[in-house]
Structure 1
Amino acid sequence: MLPTDHITLDTLTLSWLPSQMEAAMLRLDKLDPEISGNKWFKLKYNLEAAKEQGKKHILTFGGAYSNHIAATAAACQLAGLTCTGVIRGERPPVYGHTLQQAMDKGMLLEFISREDYRNSRQQYNAAPDTYVIPEGGHNAAGARGCEEILSLFPTHHFTHVLCATGTGTTLAGLINSAAPHQTILGIPVLKGAAYLEEEVRALLHPGKPHQWQLLHDFHGGGYAKVKPELIDFINTFYQETGIPTDIIYTGKLIKAFHELIHQGYFPDKSKILLIHTGGLQGNLSLPPGVLTL
């Protein structure tokens, strides 16, 4: 169990935020340097279930730059469990920061082709002592953990909650735990991610009214696509607020928020909560000096 007392709720003072609106950021990135942000919430009940079932080993899936892979390795070491990461794609000649970090935490790495990876996530013959966590922690246990995010601070006064979306697990948890008057907005970081609608719906509590939407126009070219304007925006946001964001998730979230403000998307007097989902280790894939964080 990780303590959550490092997490803060920071008021955002932004030059481009209309004076009749309020915005704040829930800093999940402050939770832990390795099991960062929403990753812990998605892993928490999965690891608990593994121990309850007497499982000794965790098997999970991800790409070579997956925050989930790095976080799972660190969380398993903390929990006293061994783990294997099934990595999408061929074994690279030199491991990047994410894979090296996972190995340093004791994770075994298994590399498979992209085609086999697509199939293996659906049907993987795990050993009897192994607990399988889907890619990104996308299951009911993962969503259950994310339902706790909005209870870290008093958040009922916010009218809108925005979150970057990869697998939809965190978004589903936010929707499940939101107050009836709140609108939850997901910003997919993947191009052509219409399938996320069903992925999110599959994790929602039945019979509860939900106000939520996925806004698909802010992926910036696709997953892990980093354009110069995104780098400039992340640097400018840091200079203005002192808050570091990442190039994969929260950087795109804040840029989407800026564009939505410019479009007049939010009604006057809106109170907007932005979820910082961590993942700052993803910035290490950039050459030194590109980001001024």
Structure 2
Amino acid sequence: MTADNAEPGAVPADEAGVRFDLDGPVATVTLCRPEVLNAQTPALWAELANISRKLPGDVRVVIVRGEGRAFSAGLDLSVARGDGDSSLTRLAHLSPQECADRIAGFQSAFTWLRNPSIVTIAAVQGHAIGAGFQLALNCDMRVLADDARFSMAEVTLGLVPDLGGTKRLAELVGPSRALEICVTGRRIPAEEAERIGLATAVVPVSDLADSVNDLAAAILAAPDGAVPEIKGLFAGIGQRSYADQDRVEREAQTRRIRDLLGTGE
């Protein structure tokens, strides 16, 4: 089924360039502006944030994909360079706090994908540039077609990555490599992405949809309550000592045992 219960006053999802489909416990979010390689706009980000609010509680897996030959070419430069409320020119004339608050709203379109109660998978084909790369980075897993190309291209516009991608990038490839990727804006082919830890898997273009569906099915085959707990074990793992991680593991296992045997509160 397709979910389109947008909030009053919102841009209709199809006009914003996002489609939201439900199939039981699997939700699929599709960027659907293929004529501009799924370039992103503030309206698209608003709809992504809206999806996070209307996501049913029984959804366990969210798949994020792009329609056509690219995942997302990043920020729509016609909007960034225009004269709308979210153009760079308008943002520059806000107070520093107002500008930061506006960017926080943009970030909310991406950061909900880290929700501990769901597993999120980016199905990436073709280019994933700038905001497209960061959208994929906010997902838990990234399955790439062999024609995929990542690039953190904000630096080419004199900007910085600001949509929740820098911490995840550093966690995946290390701070030094992450810095190099961000300051050069270079293209990273699928083979390198897999080698340095950006890709969960790389598959032929023709196999991308089936591979992502198989991964979703494998996740759903696990008992419902175990998966969020396992995801929680890895959230913030870089900031924990071994002793702290041991504690987090035993606390999670205690919850699982009590839940499985019906003794939990």
Question: TM-score, normalising length from structure 1?
Answer: 0.30
Which structure has more relative contact order (CA 8 Å, sep 6+)? It is 1
Question: TM-score, normalising length from structure 2?
Answer: 0.33
The structure in which a higher percent of residues are helix is: 2
